């Protein structure tokens, strides 16, 4: 059969609430045109993020009941620890409540003034945690990643030439670690090839610099390697993932993505002293080293999720259903970042709204227009998230790309939900000339996209 179906059936359902166009107009005004401020109840299809929004399996829910709530030495922790060790081969597994807590601990130890951290592309929280330590976060994506309409297999790759230059110039004194984000979320969820992971690792080794993965979406990345990279067609996803981790000295992980859980994360490292320092910080901010910031039932569900996510039927459905959305939008003429990523479709807001300049935030304008048209919540990944306005001179620095992300929660929406999204965005595209830009009327000092407020121009 050619039809790829959801490889699950639905046991428990959650009703959706419909709102009218009029209601949504008022909701947007109240929210200061920031979709993070909208009550989830007022959202019909929520594509804000794929983070922590997965539907858990019956097996995971069963595990929640069995979760061991011991303060120290929980059985569920040891189960998670073993699962992660089997998968990654790392020596020390340090649980945290989510990915950014692992980042905070890692960069508090190895970051600091004068340090530089290269990454294929930092995601927002990673960048914030590097910068808050006093260090500088440097993005080194491959040049083709800046071309939304060029279809290539591994547009998430690290720019090895640029990395080599930087490592040669600054060396291990200034660069405490190199990170590679798989898949590359800020670059449209594009995968990184095994060849690129291996080469990045080798470069780091030559300079004596530790190499870490930001592993949030490691399973989706492994699946892309399987279907796109010669030589991996017959390798199991687990073995591909193991090989990916084998090149690294550690990783940060948000379990809220490919861990298939609503809360959870970890920091994994090989270095004994780094692990000791991390656990010392952990007890102050997160909790005892056998639970981090998590309940026993979270640890249990996380361990089970990390096994389930490696199932090939699941990953085939996952990647195929995301590209189904991308292909349909493309057919309607809607400009998307090509090719479709693993967890999301990214609309190219610059091409969608060529009449809105960068400093009027075309991505934010488009995200609001989509909510207004059909109650669909998306996320701007452009100059609101990654641009900057100098507080003194008022000078505006744009992000490299202006995008709106349609992130697909795992195992949550069916094909007809996605068909509704396709129809709605097609309609917005027909009426795109009417959409106007946005002005920021309030912004906080860091991670402004979460709480900024806007007005249409």
Footprint on this chain of ligand P71 (rule: CB under 6 A): 49, 51, 98-100, 123-126, 181, 185, 214, 216, 254, 256, 265, 379, 407
Least distance (Å) between residue 217 CB and ligand P71: 7
CA distance linking residue 285 with residue 355, whole number of Å: 47
Shortest Cβ 157–ligand P71 spacing (Å): 15
The residue (of 258 and 300) whose beta carbon lies closer to ligand P71 is 258
Q: Which is nearer to ligand P71, 204 or 261 (CB)?
A: 261
Question: For ligand P71, which is the closer residue by CB, 170 or 256?
Answer: 256
To the nearest whole angstrom, how small is the minimum distance from the Cβ of residue 343 to ligand P71? 8
Smallest gap from residue 231 Cβ to ligand P71 (A):
26
Query: Closest distance between ligand P71 and the C-beta of residue 183, in Å?
Result: 8
- Taken as a whole, the chain contains a residue count of 457
Judge whether 380 and 367 are in contact, CB under 8 Å.
yes
Q: How far is CA 295 from CA 67, 72, 77, in A?
A: 8, 11, 10
Nearer to ligand P71, 53 or 76 (CB): 53
Question: What's the closest the beta carbon of residue 206 comes to ligand P71, in angstroms?
Answer: 26
Q: Give me the long-range contacts of 445-453 (CB less than 8 A, separation at least 24).
A: 446/128, 446/131, 446/132, 447/124, 447/125, 447/128, 448/384, 449/34, 449/36, 449/124, 449/380, 449/384, 449/385, 450/36, 451/34, 451/36, 451/37, 452/32, 452/34, 452/384, 453/32, 453/33, 453/34, 453/37
E strands present in 400-452: 403-407, 438-442
Task: Decide whether 170 or 363 has the Cβ nearer to ligand P71.
Answer: 363
Q: Residue 391 corresponds to which tokens in the numbers above? A: 């507080």
Burial readout 376-386 (b: 16 or more C-beta within 10 A, e: otherwise): bbbbbbbbbbb
Choice between 180 and 336, CB closer to ligand P71: 180
Residue whose CB is less far from ligand P71, 184 or 201: 184
123 burial type by CB count under 10 A (0-12 exposed, 13-18 middle, 19+ buried): buried
Whose CB is nearest to ligand P71?
A: 99
Nearer to ligand P71, 83 or 170 (CB): 83
The CB-of-11 to ligand P71 minimum distance in angstroms stands at: 26
The candidate with the shortest Cα–Cα distance to 101, out of 249, 293, 374, is: 293
Alpha-carbon gap, residue 422 to 408, rounded angstroms? 13
Question: In the complex, what is the shortest distance from the CB of residue 96 to ligand P71, in angstroms, rounded to a whole number?
Answer: 9
């Amino acid at each position: 059969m050619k039809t790829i179906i959801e490889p699950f059936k639905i046991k428990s359902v959650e009703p959706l609430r419909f709102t009218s166009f009029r209601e949504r107009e008022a909701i947007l005004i109240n929210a200061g045109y920031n979709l993070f401020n909208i009550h989830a109840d007022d959202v019909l299809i929520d594509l804000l993020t794929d983070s922590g929004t997965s539907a858990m399996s019956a097996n995971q829910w069963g595990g929640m009941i069995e979760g061991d709530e011991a303060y120290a030495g929980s059985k569920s922790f040891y189960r998670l620890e073993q699962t992660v060790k089997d998968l990654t081969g790392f020596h020390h597994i340090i649980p945290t409540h989510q990915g950014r807590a692992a980042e905070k601990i890692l960069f508090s130890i190895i970051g600091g003034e004068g340090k530089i951290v290269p990454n294929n592309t930092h995601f927002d929280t990673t960048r914030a945690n590097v910068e808050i330590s006093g260090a500088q976060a440097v993005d080194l994506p491959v040049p083709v990643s800046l071309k939304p309409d060029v279809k290539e297999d591994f547009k998430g790759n690290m720019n090895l030439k640029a990395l080599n230059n930087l490592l040669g110039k600054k060396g291990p004194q200034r660069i405490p670690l190199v990170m590679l984000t798989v898949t590359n979320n800020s670059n449209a969820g594009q995968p990184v090839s095994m060849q690129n992971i291996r080469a990045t690792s080798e470069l780091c080794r030559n300079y004596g610099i530790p190499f870490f993965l930001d592993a949030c979406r490691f399973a989706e990345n492994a699946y892309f390697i399987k279907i796109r990279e010669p030589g991996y067609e017959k390798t199991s996803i687990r073995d591909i993932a193991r090989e990916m981790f084998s090149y690294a000295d550690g990783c940060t992980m948000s379990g809220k993505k490919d861990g298939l859980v609503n809360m959870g994360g970890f920091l994994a490292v090989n270095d004994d002293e780094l692990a000791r320092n991390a656990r010392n910080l952990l007890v102050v901010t997160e909790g005892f080293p056998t639970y981090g910031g998590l309940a026993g039932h979270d640890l249990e569900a996380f361990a089970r999720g990390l096994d389930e996510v490696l199932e090939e039927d699941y990953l085939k459905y996952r990647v195929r259903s995301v590209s189904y959305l991308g292909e349909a939008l493309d057919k309607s003429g809607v400009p998307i970042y090509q090719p479709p990523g693993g967890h999301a479709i990214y609309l190219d807001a610059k091409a969608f709204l060529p009449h809105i300049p960068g400093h009027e935030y075309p991505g934010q304008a488009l995200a609001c227009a989509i909510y207004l048209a059909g109650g669909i919540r998306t996320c701007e990944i452009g100059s609101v998230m990654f641009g900057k306005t100098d507080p003194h001179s008022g000078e505006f620095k744009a992000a490299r790309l202006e995008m709106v992300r349609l992130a697909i929660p795992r195992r949550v929406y069916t094909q007809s939900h996605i068909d509704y999204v396709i129809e709605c965005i097609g309609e917005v595209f027909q009426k795109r000339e009417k959409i106007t830009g946005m002005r920021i009327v309030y912004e906080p000092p860091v991670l402004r996209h979460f709480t900024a407020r806007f007005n249409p121009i």
